[in-house]
Each structure stands twice: as structure tokens, then as C-alpha cells.
Amino acid sequence: MTKTIRVAHLYGDLMNTYGDIGNILSLRYYAKQIGVEVTSNVVSLEEDFNADDYDFMVFGGGQDFEQTIVSKDIQTKKDEIKRFIEQGKPVIAICGGFQLLGNYYVAANGKKLPGIGALDHYTDAMKDNRFIGNIEIQNEQTKEKYHGFENHAGVTYLGPSERALGKVIKGHGNNGKDGTEGAIYKNTVCTYFHGPILARNGNLAKRMMFHALEKKYPETDFTSEKPKVKVDSF
């Protein structure tokens, strides 16, 4: 029987300003190399989200208008999203998705929008400034380096239960002050990397893919399949 990874593309019709669907396409590419099928479904406004229906979540970024709409609707889904995260299922959350998983986000107009408090960070807004440009970071646990492009006016500060995705080598990162970029909690990865991050960083894509497979199929040993996933042709 073909193994599958079911992806929830959270608000993929609204929060996909920077082509964050590319993270799903990248996951599908690497999964195909080991005979795994990736299916995806957009979960949007006034639609139910059930944590048991999915193995992986992608939550992209959007403009302030879309983010305002999503910040209201996502409150109806927050319990199931929290359950998904606490179960250790992989999540990749980019920019606006990163912000809304936290406690709150302050928009450019100064309005404070509620997040869902699934992670313990918060986001303030810069005035008359944005962090824009190429960025490079290094993950302190794996020593892997990740490359991407950041474009955000929000400045995010991590909570005590989170660790950074990486330390900034080049660029601004979460807030331009403490040298952090992104956040990790269990198997949830948050970041300001557009590009999208899993397309430019195959090592991270593979790592998250195997987290999803090992969580869904705990009786299967994937050790022999991990070396079969190639990145040089991507």
C-alpha cells in the first residue's frame, strides 16, 4: 500500500502572497523519490479543521487585509490547530502564518490582532521600515545553514518555550536585535523565509517529511529510505 502524507494548506487561497504553496510542491517532490504520495487540501474561511485528517500543515503569509480576515476566522480552528501541533505533527508557518500562531500581531496601522496562542511569541510592528533582502541562518542543533528571502514589517520576539530556527549570519531575522530567525516548537517550524524555504533548503524539507512519515507510520523503519532522497537535481 502506498504511504501518503496529507497536507492541510491553511488559508491557502488567502495566505499565499509569496508563493508559499511551493513548500507543498517541494514536499511532493522529495516524497515521490521514495514512493510516497502527497495530497493537499486548502482549509479556508468558515471551514472546519480536524487535526486527525492531516499529517502536515502549511500556513503561508499574506497582506494585512487578508491577515485581518484570517485572524478572526482562525479562532474557530484554534483548538484543533493546537491539538495538531501538540501531537508533534509537522507544521511550516511562514510570515503571517508565523505571526498568527503566536499570541498577537500588531498590524502596520497599529491595530492589535489576536493570534491563537499555539506558540508563545508575539509580534509588534515597525514604523516606516521593513526588513527586506536575502538572509542566511544556521541552526544551532543540526549546524545546517538555511538560505532565503525576508520581507516583513513585523518584529517577533520568542517565548521561553520556543527556540530559534537559526542564528542570523546575514540579514535581519525576527526583530533585527537578538540575532534569531524563526521559531521551533515540537515539530512546528516558523520562519520569515519566503522563496519558499523548503524549495531552497532541501535538507529541511527532507527532515520535516520524515517527521511526518515517522509520526504517521511508527511501525515502519525509514532508515534505509532516507539516503535515497536526493537534493542535487532540485
83 is in an annotated binding site: no
The widest CA-to-CA distance across the chain, in whole angstroms, is 55
What lies within 8 Å, CB to CB, of 65 at 6+ separation is: none
Catalytic residues: 95, 194
Side-chain-side CA neighbours of residue 231 (13 Å): 13
- For the chain, the first-to-last Cα distance in angstroms comes to 27
| DSSP-assigned beta bridge partners for residue 170 | 136
Q: Give the number of other CB atoms < 10 A from CB of residue 227.
A: 8
Question: Is the Cβ–Cβ distance between 121 and 156 less than 8 Å?
Answer: yes
Q: What cell does 96 get? A: 503571517
Element (H, E) at 184: strand 183-185
CA distance 19 to 61: 9
Q: 129 CB contacts (<8 Å, ≥6 apart)? A: 153
C-alpha cell at 37: 504520495
Binding residues for substrate: 130
Residue ranges of the binding site: 130
